[in-house]
Amino acid sequence: MQREVTFAGICGFIATIILAFLILIGSRNLAHFDAALVAYTASILFATFGLTYRYTMWLQRPPTALYWKRGWQVFLNRKYLRKNTINWFRHVTEDMALNRFIFERSRMRGITHFLIMWGCIIAISITFPLVFGWLHFESVPGEIDTYKAYVFGFPTFTFPSGSIFGFLIFHGLVWSALVTLSGVMLAMRRRMREEGAAALQLFVEDFLPLILLFAVCITGLMLTASYTWLKGYAYDFIAILHAIMVIITFLWLPFGKFFHIFQRPAQIGVRFYKYVGEREEPAVCRRCNTPFTSLMHVQDLIITEKQLGYNYEIPGTSVEHYQWICPRCRRAMLALAQGQLWQKQLGGESSVSISYTPSTPSYVNPGMGEGPLGHEDAKNFHP
């Protein structure tokens, strides 16, 4: 354990140093660094350490470590590299950008997550470069109404500050706050009204992140309201309040639900693993002789289970390891094993020894995840 902790600590430290170095370079030795934002920078640096530490610890767990390694191996496999690269773009678009799998869970959940996610992405892509001094605006000499945007200290495009484009850009955080807030409200509504959610949710896991996002958005919007309509009323106080909310959110990043942002992209690796697995040799159930997954997956699980201290070996048999039996046969064997015990007590015959290959057990219900009524269940679910 000690070694893993030290390694994760070193990784966290290196990541933090790299970010600090990039801030120095990007802001041209802090020339464009806004001193008022130093507390933000400090909290982001802390979050970077925390996130890298947790991520590294996570990657060192046996199942994660093996998936991580295999994920890269199957991606870089010469035979599939071209197709994998094409699929990478597809998965990033469908899974990450469009959240298609969440829309599959329910449309409302999909919309909710989509709004929160994009609101946060827009906000972060505006604020982080500003805070680090990577992005700043200067008025063009001689043209007081024209602004020029500098990225990493390099001049880029210019625009009239009073134009619609200027208005949209300078209020970018307002738009992102409104998008995030809509999502947060939808999520809150679900958590307060739905009995299924009520049964499982925890305050720290499920409500706190929403409350934090809400607080950040509302205090941010209050700043705009203060200087636009209230002649800067209570601006300093609101600014500090907003800073506190944002800093708490950053400090919370490595610990709570927000960590899924960093963990989640692993599902793309899983997709490659499955894609290649389907095209390579399958694992055949050693009871019913039917393919049930990829050979690679069974072999990897045997390694993982051994590392975790499990001992599913069945020595002296042709099966060798319980992992070589398909899940359906495992369920059937449970029934047969219990039936055999009854047979010993009550006599008669509940099961017989066979020398041929038994057929694969079949689902009684019509399909995976469906009740006897089929799809009607999901569609006609009573409120």
Residue 264 sits in the site that holds other proteins (CB under 8 A)? yes
Q: Within 10 Å of residue 87's Cβ, how many Cβ atoms?
A: 17
Q: Least Å distance between CB 23 and other proteins?
A: 30
State the sign of the Cα–Cα–Cα–Cα dihedral 100, 48, 45, 136.
negative
Residues in the chain: 383
Decide whether 165 or 310 has the Cβ nearer to other proteins: 310
Distance, CA of 101 to CA of 330 (rounded, Å): 29
| Region near other proteins per CB under 8 A, out of 126-134, 139-147, 213-221, 340-348 | 340-348
| Region near other proteins per CB under 8 A, out of 44-52, 138-146, 222-230, 309-317 | 309-317
Distances (CA, A) of 349 to 63, 222, 288: 43, 77, 22
Residues 141, 142, 193, 347: which binds other proteins (CB under 8 A)? 347
Q: Least Å distance between CB 112 and other proteins?
A: 12
Q: Least Å distance between CB 19 and other proteins?
A: 25
Q: Least Å distance between CB 41 and other proteins?
A: 28
| Region near other proteins per CB under 8 A, out of 79-87, 161-169, 217-225, 323-331 | 323-331
Q: Least Å distance between CB 375 and other proteins?
A: 8
Decide whether 162 or 327 has the Cβ nearer to other proteins: 327
- Count of residues interacting with other proteins (CB under 8 A): 91
Residue 195 sits in the site that holds other proteins (CB under 8 A)? yes
Q: Least Å distance between CB 105 and other proteins?
A: 5
Phi, psi of 280, rounded to the nearest 5 degrees: -100, -170
Residue 145 sits in the site that holds other proteins (CB under 8 A)? no
The alpha-helical segments, DSSP class H, found in 60-106 are 62-76, 78-91, 100-105
Report the DSSP pairing between strands 282-284 and 320-321: unpaired
Write out the binding residues for other proteins, residues 199-228 only, by CB under 8 A: 199-200
Whether the Cβ atoms of residue 208 and residue 256 lie closer than 8 Å to each other: yes
Residue 322 sits in the site that holds other proteins (CB under 8 A)? yes
Whether the Cβ atoms of residue 62 and residue 308 lie closer than 8 Å to each other: yes
Residues 78, 82, 231, 344: which binds other proteins (CB under 8 A)? 344
Residue 93 sits in the site that holds other proteins (CB under 8 A)? no
Q: Least Å distance between CB 37 and other proteins?
A: 30
Residue entry with tokens 């806004």:
34
Residues 95, 96, 108, 221: which binds other proteins (CB under 8 A)? 95
Whether the Cβ atoms of residue 199 and residue 250 lie closer than 8 Å to each other: no
Distance, CA of 244 to CA of 147 (rounded, Å): 30
Residues 3, 82, 144, 362: which binds other proteins (CB under 8 A)? 362
Residue 299 sits in the site that holds other proteins (CB under 8 A)? no
Residues 156, 228, 263, 289: which binds other proteins (CB under 8 A)? 263
Residue 193 sits in the site that holds other proteins (CB under 8 A)? no
Write out the binding residues for other proteins, residues 266-285 only, by CB under 8 A: 266-267, 270, 273-274
Residue 2 sits in the site that holds other proteins (CB under 8 A)? no
Residues 6 or more apart in contact with residue 179 via CB below 8 angstroms: 115, 118, 119, 122
Residue 91 sits in the site that holds other proteins (CB under 8 A)? no
- Which is nearest to 357 in space by CA: 270, 309, 285, 264? 285
What amino acid occupies position 322? Answer: Y
Category of 163 on φ-ψ map: left (φ > 0), alpha (ψ -120 to 50) or beta: beta
Residue 141 sits in the site that holds other proteins (CB under 8 A)? no
Residue 317 sits in the site that holds other proteins (CB under 8 A)? yes
Write out the binding residues for other proteins, residues 49-88 only, by CB under 8 A: 58, 61, 63-64, 66-67
Decide whether 24 or 336 has the Cβ nearer to other proteins: 336
Q: At what angle do helices 208-229 and 107-131 cross, to 10 degrees?
A: 60
Burial 20-42 (b: 16+ CB within 10 A, else e): eeebeebbeeeebbeeebeebbe
Residue 110 sits in the site that holds other proteins (CB under 8 A)? no
The alpha-helical segments, DSSP class H, found in 92-171 are 100-105, 107-131, 164-170
